[in-house]
Amino acid sequence: MVSDFMVEHSSQHSVLPAPNSPVAIRRRAWREFKDRLARYGVAVGGVSVIFAIVLIFFYLLYVVIPLFYGADIESEAQYKTNISHSTHLTLNEYNDVALTLDMQGKVEFFDANSGKPLLDVALPLPEQANIVSFSKGAATTGVFAYGFDDGKALVFQQDYKISYPTGTTRKITPLILYPLGEQAQTVDSKGQALRLLSVQSNSDHTTLVGLTQDNRVVLKSLIREQDFLDEDAFTIEEKTAEIKLDAKDDITHLQMDIDQRELYLADSHGFISYFDITNIEAPRLIQKIKGVPSGVKITTLEFLTGGISILVGRSDGQIDQWFPVRDVNNNYTLHNVRSFNDQSTAIIAISPEYARKGFLALDDSGKLGIYHTTAHRTLLVEPLVTGDNAIIMAISPRANGLISMTADGQTKLTYIDNEHPEISWHSLWEKVWYESRDKPEYIWQSSSASNDFEPKFSLSPLTFGTIKAAFYAMVIAVPLAIMGAIFTAYFMSPKMRTFVKPTIEIMEALPTVILGFLAGLWLAPIIEGNLPGVFSILILLPVMTVLTAWSWTKLPRRFRESIPDGWEAAILIPVVIMVGVVSMMASPSIELWLFDGNMPQWLNDIGVDFDQRNSLVVGLVMGFAVIPTIFSITEDAIFSVPKHLTVGSLALGATPWQTLIRVVLLTASPGIFSAVMIGLGRAVGETMIVLMATGNTPIMDFNIFEGFRALSANIAVEMPEAEVASSHYRVLFLAALVLFMATFVFNTVAEIVRQRLRTKYSSL
């Protein structure tokens, strides 16, 4: 009977196998295998995540580190030529053809790698006239001029014709051109020798400035005017002027800027005279200033690329950068902006780079210094040549080659490795005095339409913008999210909680690009047009909430008990809607009454700048995006507080609010803190909302009515157009590294604090 019952019962219900049966052993083995697989899988996954994060960190570091390398030079070729006492050198962009000029009018192109002559040019020098001065124009123009003892000057220009006769082999043909023709131009009508000379020329305008033997500065401008009816017809308008100097002025240097608008004179007493020659017929002395201390002489004077700054080399080895600064009265005065004092003997030559704000300096001991002005950075100081011979040098247009020649013809071609001179701690994080600015500033401006542009790579305004965005977002999100989570988890009825919690959590699924789109194109214009109404909502909503709660306590007990416990919050829904509607409807009247019908303009009039896409818009929308994260984690932390703690507190006579504040919140504080830090991390790294709703203006101003530019948005905007491996490209990676490190620090601090809170309140 028993066996029959077991067979019948086993047909309806499974029978557990015996503990040592083969089936049980196989099941235990399979379970243990799955446990080990899960354990190792979780471990491998965790280690992989850590490895990936470390790999990201080292990749960012790998891209960023070259920014802070110094310069390096390496000798490519060294030889002796038959050229001696050369006056000036140039080197082409491929570092293979050089040009030398001397004071006898000899012009010769030669192979920069071997010294082999390529082309000797016979200039059309005037008969019975001797060369007494030489001038080079801006390096980018390749214009030169010889000044003669009869007051005339010959202007000529180097050029290179590049062809590919075989399809792959590059052929460079050097040329000498004559922008004003082969006839020498009369600069001084009195026929005095041109002791010093400066020339600048472009396609339509050439200006010659000379210092005569009798201490006069003569100016001649030739402006080419094209006939619009005939392409081959043109006229040349000549303008002349003269500047009389004091007899005691011993002028040693004379330089004119590339735009032919400014003239600088330096004398043997260390004074620098700054002239405005915009109106060539009426040159105007703007300022005469002592440029060097007593006992120190000016040994060289050169324009930095762009023609705004002048570089003053001194006999004590220091190099000063000066440029005009506009004051509050719109007047320009010269300022010594920065100095470089890494060389100790007299500076005999300065070669500015063609396209960057860097330069090379050579002293009379043969040491070469490589500098960058914006970064205020000395990249290299090393011996270039040895010996007591006079030295001249020239840098190539790409700033990767240098050719130098001594008085006896010893020539050296040097390769320069200097990829990112414009980056330094100073240029990234400190105030920098940029050209044409009236004071040192934090500026991010990575590109411009001008070839003379000075890159501005300050990360300070971007970091400030990131902090500003996170601050305003957290100001809005933290109170709403935490207070809402407290009420939902502790006071709200379970049934209402099943509606509210999923609704708020599903808000996190909204794409941030949609939120940014709505913020920039929909919300920002509404806020601008109804600014008094928006502030009315922010002020009246808390007041009406408290007033509604107080009114609720004054209602009859029977009416209050008709609302189930935990559903009281539903009463606030119509109150919130009413406050919003009334505030927005009253906004035009308030604006007309208090702000003359235009609150944004009223703010501008009192000195508070207002932009349509501003921090208020970003704070509202980003707060909306961060609220679900903080709310969900906080609500879970509060709801997970053991019930026996709450019941025990209430049983001892504590009120619900006392229990909440002194028991529940303390126990849940690690989770609440984690929620805030995770929300902060999301706000710091948010991209699309700040990209579309801020105007992306990299300014440092905590004004809630102005925009900003965040690190993440800047990376998103500029990375697609950044040249790979350029300074701009690597600085964007540095911005990403800053974000990475900030997130790492926030998370580390959050975990440390969370663990301490857990340890402190785990005994409750």
* 3-state DSSP helix/strand/coil % of the chain, to nearest 5: 40, 25, 35
Report yes or no on 376 lying in a domain. Answer: yes
Quick one: 600 and 711 in the same domain? Answer: yes
Q: Which tens digits make up the pLDDT trace of 595-644?
A: 988 999 999 989 888 998 899 999 999 999 999 999 999 999 898 888 88
Residue 11 has a pLDDT of 47
Q: Assess whether 568 and 615 both reside in one domain.
A: yes
Q: Are residues 136 and 200 in the same domain?
A: yes
Residue-by-residue DSSP string for 486-536: HIIIIIS-HHHHHHHHHHHHHGGGS-HHHHHHHIIIIIHHHHHHTHHHHHH
CB-CB contact of 156 with 145 (8 Å)? yes
Q: What is the band of 21 on the pLDDT scale with cuts at 50, 70, 90?
A: confident
pLDDT > 70 fraction of the chain, expressed in percent and rounded: 95
Please report how the helices 615-639 and 665-685 are oriented relative to each other, as an axis angle in degrees rounded to 10: 150
* pLDDT > 80? residue 10: no
Same domain, residue pair 264 and 357: no
Q: What is the pLDDT of residue 448?
A: 73
Contacts of 730 (CB under 8 A, 6+ apart): 63, 64, 66, 67, 420, 423
pLDDT tens figures, 271-286: 999 999 999 889 999 9
End-of-domain residue from the set 403, 432, 456: 456
Task: Give the pLDDT band of residue 328 (cuts 50, 70, 90).
Answer: confident
- Pairwise CA distance, residues 444 & 427, whole Å: 10
Q: How confident is the model at residue 569 (pLDDT cuts 50, 70, 90)?
A: confident
Is 29 among the domain residues? no
Q: How far apart are the C-alpha atoms of 673 and 414, rounded to whole Å?
A: 59
What single DSSP character describes residue 416? E
pLDDT at 2: 46
Are 241 and 334 members of one domain? Answer: no
Rounded distance, CA 414 to CA 89, Å?
A: 14
- DSSP secondary structure of 659-682: HIIIIIHHHHHHHHHHHHHHHHHH
- What's the rounded mean pLDDT across residues 693-708? 88
Q: Please say if the pLDDT value at position 319 is more than 80.
A: yes
d(C-alpha 73, C-alpha 171), whole Å:
27
Q: Is residue 16 part of a domain?
A: no
Mean pLDDT of the chain: 89
Kindly indicate the confidence band of residue 1, based on its pLDDT and cuts at 50, 70 and 90. Answer: very low
Give the model's pLDDT for residue 607: 87
Residues 649 and 756 in one domain: yes
Distance CA 736, CA 694 (A): 20
The residue from 456, 490, 519 where one domain ends is 456
Number of domains in the chain: 3
- Span 665-687, average pLDDT: 88
In a domain, 267, yes or no: yes
- Given a cut of 60, is residue 502 above it in pLDDT? yes
Position 7 pLDDT exceeds 50: no
Q: What band does 388 get if pLDDT is binned at 50, 70 and 90?
A: low
Mean pLDDT of 701-713: 91
Please report whether residue 374 resides in a domain: yes
270 in the same domain as 245: yes
Task: Specify whether 452 is located in the same domain as 463.
Answer: no
162 & 247 share domain: yes
pLDDT of residue 479: 93
Q: Which residue has the tokens 């003053």?
A: 312
> Do 179 and 202 belong together in one domain?
yes
Do 563 and 617 lie in one domain? The reply is: yes
Residue 56 lies in a domain: no
Residue 55 placed within a domain: no
- Is 13 contained in some domain? no
Q: Which domain holds residue 353?
A: 73-87+306-456
CATH of the domain at 346: 2.130.10.10
Residues 508 and 371 in one domain: no
Q: Worst-scoring range by mean pLDDT, 46-50, 349-353, 365-369, 445-449?
A: 445-449
Domain boundary among 422, 437, 456: 456
Q: Is the pLDDT of residue 173 over 60?
A: yes
Write down the pLDDT at residue 533. 92
Specify the pLDDT at position 261.
93
Q: CATH no. for residue 604? A: 1.10.3720.10
Query: pLDDT tens-digit profile of 352-373?
Result: 999 899 999 999 988 999 999 9
Across the range 129-138, mean pLDDT stands at 93
